[in-house]
Chains A and B, each alone.
Chain A
Amino acid sequence: MEQTYFEDVEEGSSLPTVRKDPTSQQLVKYAGASGDFYQIHYDVGFAKNNGLPDIILHGALKNAFLGQLMTDYAGHEGTLKKLSVQYRAMDIPGTPVFAKGTVKKKYVKDGENFVECEIWLENHEGKSTTPGYGIVTLPNK
């Protein structure tokens, strides 16, 4: 895993995008691993009876995808400090989603190098379904 250093970060630059290809199988795995067995995430009939177009991704799974965006960016020497997401629209399995971000601000505080990022999950039509922000600290070179 390549390490990002504080000196190399530019405000306005993009974070490396994380592509995910969620499937119905992944939703079942996530249900098992997380203990969230709400049927709208794996039972199509149940989801449709609840007015949904299909089974939908767990909000917390989307949160995990955006977590990966930030921990990939922080690298093994950096540290994730804050992660905030809002579920604004549904995502369904079978199409890719993209965790993306841009650097909003970098600063040094109490001897630590902070980088604040605007982040979001985008569906295959380019629409942001899950906006948020993440804050990491990064090492010096």
Chain B
Amino acid sequence: MEYLSINGRDEVSESVITKEMKDAIGVESDPVVYQIEEGAILRFAEAIGDTNPIFNDKNEASKTKYGGIVAPPTFLRSIAHVKAPEPKVQVKSPYPANVDGGSEWEYFEPIKVGDTITATSYLADINERKGGKFGSMLIMVRETKYINQHGTVAALQRTTGISYQPPE
């Protein structure tokens, strides 16, 4: 467990991970298709304050190996907010509070203006932690696969969601 520093030892107690949760691992969502628009990339680059010409300037970007504007590394995270790939099996945590634990990205192809990206996601892993500094936690890792119009996996994203029972 490396997401948060935990001081307490695990207590032996009943697992909150149900059979339904375990069965949800690996079940792929229906695909969601996104068009990559120039305006969305420009707005995203402006919002994160990244002035790199490959994310902002059509003329400058056309002189690079990309041949045009490409998306900043974390841009794909934003397209799924409009309509996210919905899990076929909803996994409901018994804990009330949620935090974003982190993200891991792997990149294979640049995301270019005009691309059509098909995203699917699935629950990759589920773990729990009892009686730590942050109370009891359920840790869910969800993987999203982004495939471009050429059928190539352009990027993989693994996000760690932590739900927890705040200590009394």
**Which A residues fall within an 8 A CB radius of B?**
1, 20, 26, 29-30, 32-36, 59-61, 63-65, 67-68, 70-72, 76-77, 79-88, 132
Contacts and interface: CB of A to CB of B under 8 A. Distances in A.
B9 interface: no
A46 to B, nearest CB: 14
A14 B102 CA distance: 23
A83 B49 CA distance: 18
B54 A61 contact: no
Interface residues of B, number: 35
A64 B51 CA distance: 12
Nearest to A72: B52
Contacts of A87: 99-102
Most buried by A among B43, B66, B77: B77
Given A32-B47, A61-B48, A83-B104, 4 more contacts: A29-B47, A33-B78, A77-B65, A82-B105
Contacts of B48: 30, 33, 61, 64-65, 68
A85 B160 CA distance: 10
Given A34-B44, A65-B48, A81-B107, A76 B99 contact: no
Contact of A64 (B40, B65, B72): B72
A65 B52 CA distance: 12
Given A65-B48, A68-B48, A88-B4, A35 B78 contact: yes
A76 B40 CA distance: 21
